[in-house]
Amino acid sequence: MRGQAQSHPSFSVDALARILSDKLALAPGARLRVAYSGGLDSHVLLHAAALLRERGWEVSAIHVDHGLRRESADWAAHCRAVCRAFHVELLVERVQVDGIRKRGVEDAARRARYGALARLLEPEDVLLTAHHRDDQAETVLLQLLRAAGPHGLAAMPPIARFAQGWLARPLLAFGRAALRAYAEREGLAWIEDTSNREDGIARNFLRSRVLPLLARYWPQAAEQLARAARHHAEAAAILDEVGCADLERVRIEENALSLAALGGLSPPRRANVVRYWIRRRTGQMPPEQALNDLLAQLRCRPRSRRALIRWPGTTVERYRDQLRLVPPGQLPGPQWEAEWDPGVPLAIPGTEWRLRARTGVGAGLATERLAGRRLRVRFRRGGEVCRLPGRTHRHKVKKLLQDAGVPPSERARLPFVYVDEELVAIGDRFVCEPYAARPGEAGLLLEIERSSPP
C-alpha cells in the first residue's frame, strides 16, 4: 500500500530563526559561519542567515575551493560576488585534496573540506551547513548498506561539538523541494555542480535513482528515513549511557581496562563498553572486524601475555590482565635526548605526557646530590641497570618493568632521567641509588602527567 503524500514544510527566514533559537539553543549574538559552496542548498541558507543579522546574529561565510574541477575558480568568484551583494564577509580557503586513490574523490574532498573548516573556526563559532532532510535520508540508506549500528544509523545530528566551536545543521527538517521553492520565490541564482549527477558516486546514485523510486511507492520515504535516524539517535544515546556506566566498572585508568571486569559483563555489554571506550578516546568508531578480533582476544586463553590489534590510527594492546589503548604519536627514536630543568615540565615527544617534579621529604631524588649537576632525559635504549633503594645488587631495567607489570607500549615511552651518563630515575616508577632521598632528606618526586584526549 502506498503511503500518504510527502509533507513539505515550507522554509522561511522565520522558520530558520525558530530552529536556531528553539531547537538548537543558539541565541541571537551567536557567531554563525555558513559553509557556502554556491549550490542551491547553501545559497538558500546563506540568504536566510544574512537576513537574520537584523535580529542580532553575526553572520559570515566560508567557501572551500577543492581545486578539483576547472570551474572551481569561477565558483569561488561567484561566491565572492554573492557575498558582496549580501554584505556578508567571505573567507575563501583553497585546499589540497590528498588520498583520492585510497578513499575516493568524495571522501577525500570531504576530509580536506572539514579539515579546513575546523582550522578556520574561532572558539564557540557555530558552523552552519546546509544538509537537509533528503541528505539525511541518503545518509541513513548509505549507513544501512554498510551494516552500521545505531550510531551510524543516527546519521547527522542537528548540532554537535566541532573543533573549537559547533557544527549545526538547521535545515534537516526541510526537504530539497522546500529549499528550491524558497530560492525561486526569492529569485536566487546558484551554481549547478554537474558532478552531483554522476551515478558513479554512491550518494548520487541513491539521490537520483533509489530515492525517487522509493518515493513512487512511499511518498513519505525521505521523511520516514529521517525519523528513523532520530529513533536511532535515541537508541545510541542509551547505549552510550550504559557504556559510560560500565566503563566506570572496568576502567583501571583512562587508557586501560581490566580484563577480569570485562569478563563479568554479558557479551553485548562487553562489546558496547569496548566500542564506547575506543570511540571516546580516539573519536572514531572501531572497524567491525577489528572489534571482533579484539573481543576474540578477551574470550580465549592467550598463548602469549601480549597481543596487539591494529587498524589505521589506533593500536590496542592486551597485556597480562589489561586491555590498553596505545597512545598515538611517532616516537622520535632511542637517540632522542633533552636537557631538563626540573622546575619546568618537560613535554615527552611522540606522547601526550609531561615530566614534572615536585618537592618532598624522604622520597624521590635527593636534591642535595643533584646540586650543580645537569639532568638529561632520554628514552630507553636497552641494557640499562638500576640499583633500587635497600638493594645490594643492580637489576636490569627490563626485568624491573616486567615485574611491575608495565606494558611494553608504555616502557617505550617512559622518560629515563640521567645525571651525566648515570641512570638516576625511570620515569615515575623507580629511583636508582645513590640518588634516592633518605628519610628526612629533601627530595624531588618525579611525576608523569599522562594527559590524553577526552
pLDDT at residue 351 in the model: 77
pLDDT at residue 288 in the model: 86
pLDDT at residue 321 in the model: 83
Give 446's DSSP letter: E
Please enumerate, by residue number, every residue annotated as part of a binding site for ATP.
Answer: 37-42
Closest to 280 (Cα-Cα) out of 236, 329, 240, 322? 240
CA distance 351 to 414: 10
pLDDT at residue 1 in the model: 43
Give 13-218's CATH code, choosing from 2.30.30.40, 3.40.50.10950, 3.40.50.620, 3.40.50.280: 3.40.50.620
405: helix, coil or strand? Answer: coil
Q: Give ranges for CATH 3.30.465.60 in the chain.
A: 254-326
Per-residue pLDDT of the chain (454 residues; tens, 9 = 90+): 454 544 568 999 999 999 999 999 998 889 999 999 999 999 999 999 999 999 999 999 999 999 888 889 999 999 999 999 999 999 999 999 888 887 888 888 999 999 999 999 999 999 999 999 999 999 999 999 999 999 999 999 999 999 999 999 999 999 999 999 999 999 999 998 776 666 667 888 999 899 999 999 999 999 999 999 999 999 999 999 999 999 999 999 888 899 999 999 999 999 999 999 999 988 888 888 888 888 887 776 554 566 778 787 788 888 878 888 876 665 566 678 888 888 888 888 877 788 998 998 999 999 998 888 889 999 888 889 999 998 888 999 999 998 888 888 788 888 999 998 899 999 899 999 998 999 999 998 999 887 643 3
pLDDT at residue 395 in the model: 92
- Give the domain 254-326 fold: 3.30.465
Rg (CA), the chain: 28
The residue assigned the cell 626485568 is 399
pLDDT at residue 316 in the model: 87
pLDDT at residue 348 in the model: 82
CA distance 156 to 140: 9
> In this structure, are strands 165-168 and 126-128 parallel, antiparallel, or unpaired?
parallel
pLDDT at residue 105 in the model: 82
CA distance 295 to 292: 5
Give 39's DSSP letter: B
pLDDT at residue 106 in the model: 82
Please enumerate, by residue number, every residue annotated as part of a binding site.
Answer: 37-42
CA distance 407 to 319: 6
Closest to 170 (Cα-Cα) out of 39, 43, 24, 9? 24
pLDDT at residue 132 in the model: 97
Residues in Cβ contact with 101 at an 8 Å cutoff, skipping those fewer than 6 apart: none
Residues in Cβ contact with 123 at an 8 Å cutoff, skipping those fewer than 6 apart: 164, 165
Q: Give ranges for CATH 3.40.50.620 in the chain.
A: 13-218
What predicted TM-score, i.e. pTM, was given to this entire model?
0.77
- How far CA 257 is from CA of 274, 298, 319, 427, in Å, comes to 9, 11, 11, 22
Say if CB 425 and CB 417 are below 8 A apart: yes
